[in-house]
Structure 1
Amino acid sequence: MELLPGEYVVKKNIMANLFKGIEAVGGFMQITNQRIVFKAHALNVQTGPVDIWIEDIVQMGKRNTLGLVPNGMRIIVANGTEYRFVVWKRGELMALIDEIKRDSMTR
Structure 2
Amino acid sequence: MNYEKKPGTKVFLKVGLLAGLFFCLFFGIALTFLYDLQKALIMGPISGLVFGLFMALMLYFFSKSKKVSDQTKLEGVNESEIMYAGAANHFVKREAVGGKLYLLNDRLIFKSHNLNIQNHTLSIKIDNINELIFFSPLGIVKNGLQINLKDGAIEKFVVNNRDIWKQYIEQLIK
TM-score normalized with structure 2 length:
0.54
Aligned counterparts, 1:52-67, within 5 A: 52-67=124-139
| CA–CA separation in structure 2 for the residues paired with 1:88 and 1:10 | 15
1:3 aligns with 2:77: yes
Equivalent of 1:24, from 92, 96, 116?
Answer: 96
Structure 1 residue runs of 4+, over 2 Å off?
A: 1-4
| CA–CA separation in structure 2 for the residues paired with 1:100 and 1:33 | 7
| CA–CA separation in structure 1 for the residues paired with 2:120 and 2:157 | 15
Q: Which residue of 2 aligns with 1:36?
A: 108
Secondary structure, counterpart of 2:151 in structure 1: coil
Alpha-carbon shift at residue 73 of structure 1 (Å):
0.5
Equivalent of 1:49, from 113, 121, 133?
Answer: 121
Q: Deviations along 1:5-59, whole A, 9 cap, x unmatched?
A: xx921113x1000000100000001100000000001111111100011110001
1:68 aligns with 2:105: no
Larger strand share, 1 or 2: 1
Alpha-carbon shift at residue 3 of structure 1 (Å):
3.4
* Higher radius of gyration, 1 or 2: 2
1:94 aligns with 2:173: no
1:82 aligns with 2:154: yes
Q: What are structure 2's unaligned runs of at least 5 residues?
A: 1-73
Root-mean-square deviation (Å): 1.5
| CA–CA separation in structure 2 for the residues paired with 1:89 and 1:43 | 24
The alignment covers a number of residue pairs equal to 99
Secondary structure, counterpart of 1:66 in structure 2: helix
TM-score normalized with structure 1 length:
0.87
Identity %: 31
